[in-house]
């Protein structure tokens, strides 16, 4: 019996009888490879090996659930040593990670709630570089009328989507209608911890930013903007527009 190199599909022989059987089997496999989803619910606190007898390994998306919460630790999802693309999908909701690996090689870790594109080269599984995170540009904006008070909590912004602020808040704009008398520094915080500053120079109406690294906020986090402990007497009518990215993983 002759098979294809990568997926092991049976090839028709010369003078093949019941050609439609071989062809339909191959079309069924291709359908799974291109658009199929396997949903496997964990039934024990152990690794799971894809069932090749029922062709589970051919599905494009491999979705793992744990509705009865059997797992008490991270586990492996073991794939056969075939070359293939997959979407590895950890939908367990129990806080544990899954390692998608081959029988004989290494694999990749998918955290609870993550869904990522992976590739098996027949020995090892790896991520497809550059395709794991899609970024959608978004603006967060707010207007503060009048002057602020000492240490005023200017706004609170609950996060509903994974959101990334770039280094030095690149692309953001903050302006005031009335200039500051002295240097004035606002604090931008994630869950109460500062990660960036927004500074108006004396007599300035356009702010500058400092953020040493990019900062990612996830659903459940909150963003706050806090005025300086000693508010400027003249800085007023401030517009804040932060350029961020919503991340789809």
The 10s digit of each residue's pLDDT in 129-154 is: 655 555 678 899 999 999 999 999 99
User: In the structure, what pLDDT confidence band is assigned to residue 6 with cuts at 50, 70 and 90?
Assistant: confident
Two tokens at 126? 């790896």
| pLDDT tier, 124 (very low <50, low <70, confident <90, very high otherwise) | very high
Tens-place pLDDT, residues 205-232: 999 999 998 898 988 999 999 999 999 9
Dihedrals φ, ψ of 198, to 5°? -125, 115
Residue 185 has pLDDT above 70, yes or no: yes
Q: Report the alpha-carbon distance of residue 84 to residue 97 in Å, rounded.
A: 22
pTM: 0.53
Long-range residue pairs from 52-57, CB within 8 A, at least 24 positions apart, any chain: 52/80, 55/28, 55/29, 57/82, 57/84
């Amino acid at each position: 019996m002759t098979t294809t190199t990568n997926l092991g599909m049976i090839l028709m022989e010369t003078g093949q009888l019941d050609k439609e059987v071989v062809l339909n089997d191959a079309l069924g496999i291709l359908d799974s490879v291109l658009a199929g989803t396997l949903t496997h619910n964990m039934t024990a606190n152990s690794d799971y090996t894809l069932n090749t007898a029922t062709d589970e390994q051919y599905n494009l998306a491999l979705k793992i659930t744990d509705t009865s919460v059997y797992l008490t630790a991270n586990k492996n999802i073991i794939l056969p040593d075939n070359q293939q693309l997959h979407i590895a999908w950890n939908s367990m909701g129990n806080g544990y990670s899954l390692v998608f690996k081959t029988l004989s090689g290494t694999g990749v870790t998918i955290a609870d709630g993550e869904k990522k594109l992976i590739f098996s080269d027949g020995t090892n599984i790896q991520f497809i570089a550059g395709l794991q995170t899609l970024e959608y540009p978004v603006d967060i904006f707010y207007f503060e009328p009048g002057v602020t008070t000492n240490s005023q909590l200017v706004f609170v912004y609950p996060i509903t989507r994974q959101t990334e602020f770039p280094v030095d808040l690149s692309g953001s704009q903050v302006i005031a209608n009335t200039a500051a008398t002295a240097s004035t520094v606002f604090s931008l915080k994630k869950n109460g911890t500062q990660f960036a500053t927004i500074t108006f120079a004396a007599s300035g109406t356009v702010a500058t930013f400092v953020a040493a690294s990019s900062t990612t906020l996830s659903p459940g986090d909150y963003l706050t903007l806090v005025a300086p402990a000693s508010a400027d007497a003249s800085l007023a009518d401030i517009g804040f527009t932060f350029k961020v990215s919503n991340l789809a993983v």
